[in-house]
Amino acid sequence: MVIDDSDDVRLAVAMDPAAILEGDTPRLLDEWQLAPRIWNPMRHACDRRARPGQFILTGSADPPDEITRHSGAGRVLRVRMRPMSLFESGESSGTVSLRGLLNGEEAEASRSDLDVAGLAEVVCRGGWPWLVGEPPPAAQARLRGYLGEIARTDVARSGGPAHDPGGVSRLLVSLARNESTTVAYSTLATDMSGSREATAHPRTVKRYIDALSRLFVVEGLPSWAPHLR
């Protein structure tokens, strides 16, 4: 069931949120964060049924903490979904395993069917399932439209701060430019402003990044400091 599919569904959720939990299991509730009242009935239903795999709650935004303040511990397992890898999209043979390399296994790279230009096209296309097979110009047009909607409406709808859509768009460009670096908020603020005379405040940058994280647009990379000899 898609929560934002129709006014009838939203009305049913508002009147009796527990009712939409009835049906064959596992029961999929998409964009559930738009109907936060189902959280507690869902927890209680899990307790009564005492069986795993009853509900799958999916959404394109991380619900605010006040929605899930009553813990789902022991009932809810959070799974973060990511775009497809080149192996999943069928564009890599998967003959070289990163796990295998770290375990000391020998590996020999096979010849790839992708040349440099083809690899660049795949990177620019991305790994969303509905973009696999799209020509790069069409995929990039759809991605630009998606990012535009995020900057215009999704940041505010997800409970984010009052924002300047143009500023969010410039921040996304700056984040892409500084991918996999230890860039500071102040550097991003200067970069997205285009000049040191009209620099955005680092606190504003942090609020925007927090909102984009809730929307699963950006994800901070944890530091990796292995003890190598």
Q: Is the pLDDT of residue 5 over 90?
A: no
* Residue of 10 and 28 predicted with greater confidence: 28
Strand (E) or helix (H) holding 214: helix 202-214
pLDDT 10s digits, 147-161? 999 999 888 877 666
Angle in degrees, 0-180, between the axes of helices 185-193 and 202-214, rounded to the nearest 10: 100
- pLDDT category at 23 given cuts 50, 70, 90 is confident
- pLDDT category at 143 given cuts 50, 70, 90 is very high
pLDDT 10s digits, 41-97? 888 888 888 888 899 988 877 666 655 656 667 778 888 888 998 889 888 888 888
What is the model's pTM? 0.72
Alpha-carbon distance 18 to 40, whole Å? Answer: 9
